[in-house]
Amino acid sequence: MTTESSPRPSHHGGQLGLALEWQAAAVGTLLQAQQRQAQMLMMWQKSMAAVGQDLWDRWVCRFGGGVPLDG
């Protein structure tokens, strides 16, 4: 039998191709989810930095005796 007439290699290759496609899709989805999580974390850190800066500025104005140097 030649490899063209044998159903086994083409069937096995088809299953392997489907498994690799499924694996690539799953890994791609996981990487996208991880990227979105990192983006949300960065946005949260930026907002918390702004809150911290505002609190520092208010403390300096109240207890430091004047306007903050960077303001």
2-61 confidence digits (pLDDT tens)? 555 544 445 556 888 888 999 999 999 999 999 999 999 999 999 999 999 999 888 888
Phi, psi at 7, each rounded to 5°? -75, -20
Residue listed under structure tokens 């207890």: 63
- Quote the pTM value: 0.57
31's tokens:
């990487």
pLDDT at 71 over 70: no
Cα gap 49→71, rounded to integer Å? 16
Cα gap 71→48, rounded to integer Å? 18
28's tokens:
């791609």
Cα within 13 Å of Cα(3), Cβ side? 4
pLDDT of residue 68: 61
Q: Which of 36, 6, 2, 60 is nearest to 70 (CA)?
A: 60
More confident residue, 66 or 2: 66
pLDDT of residue 5: 56
